[in-house]
């Protein structure tokens, strides 16, 4: 057996005041040239482990055990010695490159800076090497991008910059912490293919941190599964997906929506709910059992009527910046009936969110008709839209960013009601209580603040705030993209139940095609501001007509059978 490049032995990480360790007695080996995936839900300790390997934990963290890189214990190194290890022997690619890159420096300057930190290069030699690295990570027009700033690049291009910086000194180990979570499916496939190619060309090992089981199935050699800071299982990838040994792993796989391209059977919200992962805990908070439960349909989904509630006809949106203009939405037409969910899919920048904002009259449009229940909203000045606002609501991608942190949940829901004409404080309180309980939170949640909730709970609050005013049309903009597999299932089940109960028309925006396949009746495929394909959910998966639709479906990482 090849000797391990990285060996974690009894790695334990504690934070002062925390009841349990963030990581507990973790043993893990990675061999040269191997990709090992570390998977689990938020808070399981996987990112903490990644940061520990590079000694990037906050000063308050207490780490014990051993982190052996080619036999040398990184925890025993001085700060200066560890600085020499980072970038040279071990590098890291982070989840969100925009927060990792300096916004006031060009990408070329940042790569040059990283090179000269670790290698004795002149400015000219470092610039030449930086350009070579941009070419190696397949950056489009590398010479031009060299002089660009981070905000001038797409998400995928920014991640290519981060990879170029990470491989600049030919490290032996690359730690990739959720490197594609924020990217669209086709860009995700390109970045993962690039990482795997570089791993082979540079003979690197890779520690891949992710919660996407489809990604794990396609790209990892071995998998370690973590829960509550403990490694519960480790197997070769094919063996783990074929026969998972731990109840938590089985439950995690069962709750995943990862699915590939094809016309096989897949769950749909009209006929069944997604299985939800439940964890039973002992008195000390440690897990005692894991199980999957599939909720029953709470109400039969109403048949969609033939008369649309929302009808969009030849909608155009143009963004102007001085003499420059961008045609963000081009001649889009579609309709949504009461009780129907229409999904809008496409890559970042294709116009999905711009279209949604225009439909809700939150953004100006150039021309076209926006009809809601027979009224052309396009003919109404945006300042006079308040009578229609309550009937058209939006659920955001990031609930924490859209909830005022200084207000309690009760105040947030009460404010929404007051804005839309509910003057009686007692009525506002009763409706807020009814809705917060309807989305699965206790009434006591009304007295708490957003930061006191988990991501999934905050999304429930966002849904409650949208529905408390009793809308007829709901726009969901990437509502589950930031959530773990099991929490994603719970929120999708909730949305399906609420739509069935209230007969909502829904426009569901997502780049996750597994989610779309479950939640959509019909699918709109958007590219460069235009709809390139429209069809029923089953038709799109069974026989996609447009090459771009086929490209999207082919890029979905499927879990092994």
Q: Could you state, in chain order, the average pLDDT of each consecutive group of 10 residues for the chain (561 residues)?
A: 86 88 95 95 89 93 95 94 91 84 94 90 94 92 92 86 92 92 81 93 94 89 95 96 93 75 68 86 83 78 71 92 83 95 90 91 92 92 86 85 91 95 94 93 93 85 94 92 82 90 92 90 95 95 94 80 52
Per the CB < 8 A criterion, the answer to whether 504 and 472 are in contact is yes
- CB burial of 147-179 (b: ≥16 within 10 Å; e: otherwise) equals ebebeebebbbbbbbbbbbbbbbebbbbbbbbb
For residue 29, tell me if it sits in a domain.
yes
Per-residue confidence (pLDDT) for residue 166, from 0 to 100: 92
Tokens of 278: 């439940």
For residue 396, tell me if it sits in a domain.
no
Query: Do 58 and 205 fall within a single domain?
Result: yes
Tokens of 83: 């600085």
For residue 241, tell me if it sits in a domain.
no
Sign of the CA dihedral 31, 37, 39, 45?
Answer: positive
Query: Do 409 and 274 fall within a single domain?
Result: no
Query: Do 367 and 431 fall within a single domain?
Result: no
Query: Do 525 and 380 fall within a single domain?
Result: yes
Per-residue confidence (pLDDT) for residue 561, from 0 to 100: 52
Domain final residue, candidates 470, 497, 531: 470
In angstroms, what is the C-alpha Rg of the chain?
25
Query: Do 420 and 531 fall within a single domain?
Result: no
Query: Do 459 and 556 fall within a single domain?
Result: no
For residue 174, tell me if it sits in a domain.
yes
The CA distance from 343 to 345, in Å, is 6
290 to 7, 71, 321, 454: CA distances (angstroms)? 29, 37, 54, 20
Query: Do 44 and 168 fall within a single domain?
Result: yes
Its pTM stands at 0.82
For residue 287, tell me if it sits in a domain.
yes
For residue 240, tell me if it sits in a domain.
no
Per the CB < 8 A criterion, the answer to whether 439 and 460 are in contact is yes
Residue 100 C-alpha from the chain's centroid = 18
Query: Do 353 and 477 fall within a single domain?
Result: yes
CATH number of the CATH domain containing 104: 3.40.50.300
140 to 136, 137, 145, 162: CA distances (angstroms)? 11, 9, 8, 15
Backbone angles phi, psi at 131, to 5 degrees: -65, -40
Per-residue confidence (pLDDT) for residue 511, from 0 to 100: 83
Starting at the edge strand that comes first in sequence, how are the strands of the sheet with 72-73 ordered?
Answer: 23-31, 4-14, 62-69, 72-73
Query: Do 148 and 218 fall within a single domain?
Result: yes
What number of CA atoms fall less than 13 Å from residue 213's CA on the CB side?
27
Q: How many CB atoms lie within 10 A of CB 329?
A: 27
Q: Which residues contact 457 (CB under 8 A, 6 or more apart)?
A: 441, 445
For residue 354, tell me if it sits in a domain.
yes
Counting the structural domains of the chain, the total is 3
For residue 238, tell me if it sits in a domain.
no
The CA distance from 87 to 174, in Å, is 9
The CA distance from 445 to 465, in Å, is 13
Per the CB < 8 A criterion, the answer to whether 551 and 544 are in contact is no
Domain final residue, candidates 470, 497, 525: 470
Tokens of 146: 């060299």
Query: Do 207 and 96 fall within a single domain?
Result: yes
Query: Do 325 and 377 fall within a single domain?
Result: yes
Residue 485 C-alpha from the chain's centroid = 10
- CB burial of 19-56 (b: ≥16 within 10 Å; e: otherwise) equals eebbbbebebbbbebbbbbbbbbebbbbbbbbbbbbbe
Per the CB < 8 A criterion, the answer to whether 26 and 231 are in contact is yes
Domain final residue, candidates 167, 202, 230: 230
Q: Which residue range(s) make up the domain with 158? A: 4-230
Per-residue confidence (pLDDT) for residue 262, from 0 to 100: 45
Per the CB < 8 A criterion, the answer to whether 246 and 252 are in contact is no
- Please name which of 338, 295, 357 lies closest in space to residue 521, comparing C-alpha atoms: 338
Query: Do 220 and 282 fall within a single domain?
Result: no
Q: Find where tokens 């050699």 sit.
A: 221
478: left (phi over 0), alpha (psi -120 to 50) or beta: left
């Amino acid at each position: 057996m090849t000797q391990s490049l990285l060996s974690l032995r009894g790695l334990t990480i504690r934070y002062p005041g925390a009841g349990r360790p963030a990581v507990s007695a973790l043993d893990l080996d990675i061999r040269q040239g191997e990709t090992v995936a570390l998977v689990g839900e938020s808070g399981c300790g996987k990112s903490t482990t990644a940061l520990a390997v590079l000694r990037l934990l906050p000063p308050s963290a207490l780490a014990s055990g051993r982190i052996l890189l080619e036999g040398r214990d990184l925890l025993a190194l001085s700060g200066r010695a560890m600085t020499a290890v980072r970038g040279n022997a071990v590098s890291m690619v982070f989840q969100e490159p925009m927060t990792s890159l300096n916004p006031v420096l060009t990408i070329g300057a940042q790569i040059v800076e990283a090179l000269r930190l670790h290698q004795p290069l002149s400015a000219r030699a470092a610039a030449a090497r930086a350009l070579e690295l941009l070419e190696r990570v397949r950056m489009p027009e590398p010479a031009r991008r060299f002089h660009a700033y981070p905000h001038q690049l797409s998400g995928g291009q920014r991640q290519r910059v981060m990879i170029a910086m990470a491989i600049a000194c030919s490290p032996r180990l690359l730690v990739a912490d959720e490197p594609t979570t924020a990217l669209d499916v086709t860009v995700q496939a390109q970045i993962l293919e690039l990482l795997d190619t570089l791993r082979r060309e540079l003979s690197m090992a890779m520690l891949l941190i992710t919660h996407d089981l489809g990604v794990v199935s396609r790209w990892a050699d071995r998998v370690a599964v973590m829960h509550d800071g403990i490694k519960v299982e480790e197997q070769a990838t094919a063996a783990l997906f074929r026969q998972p040994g731990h109840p938590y792993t089985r439950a995690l796989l069962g709750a995943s929506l990862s699915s590939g391209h094809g016309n096989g059977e897949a769950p749909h919200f009209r006929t069944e709910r997604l299985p939800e992962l439940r964890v039973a805990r002992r008195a000390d908070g440690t897990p005692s059992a894991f199980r999957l439960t599939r909720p029953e349909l709470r109400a039969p989904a109403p048949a969609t009527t033939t008369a649309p509630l929302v009808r969009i006809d030849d909608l155009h949106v143009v963004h102007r910046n001085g003499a420059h203009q961008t045609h963000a939405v081009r001649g889009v037409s579609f309709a949504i009936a009461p009780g129907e969910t229409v999904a809008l899919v496409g890559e970042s920048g294709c116009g999905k969110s711009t279209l949604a904002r225009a439909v809700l009259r939150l953004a100006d449009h150039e021309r076209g008709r926006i009809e809601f229940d027979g009224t052309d909203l396009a003919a109404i000045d945006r300042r006079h839209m308040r009578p229609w606002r309550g009937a058209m609501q939006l659920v955001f991608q990031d609930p924490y960013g859209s909830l005022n942190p200084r207000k309690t949940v009760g105040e947030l829901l009460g404010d929404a009601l007051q804005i839309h004409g509910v003057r009686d404080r007692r009525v506002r309180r009763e409706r807020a209580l009814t809705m917060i309980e309807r989305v699965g939170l206790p009434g006591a949640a009304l007295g708490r603040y957003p930061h006191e909730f988990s991501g999934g709970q905050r999304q429930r609050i966002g849904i409650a705030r949208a529905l408390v005013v009793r809308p007829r049309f709901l726009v969901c903009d990437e509502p589950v993209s930031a959530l773990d597999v099991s929490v994603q299932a719970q929120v999708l089940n909730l949305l399906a139940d609420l739509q069935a109960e209230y007969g909502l028309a829904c426009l569901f925006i997502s780049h996750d095609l597994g989610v779309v396949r479950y939640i959509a009746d019909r699918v709109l495929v958007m590219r460069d501001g235009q709809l390139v394909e429209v069809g029923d959910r089953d038709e799109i998966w069974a026989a996609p007509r447009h090459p771009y639709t086929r490209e999207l479906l082919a890029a979905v990482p499927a879990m092994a059978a």
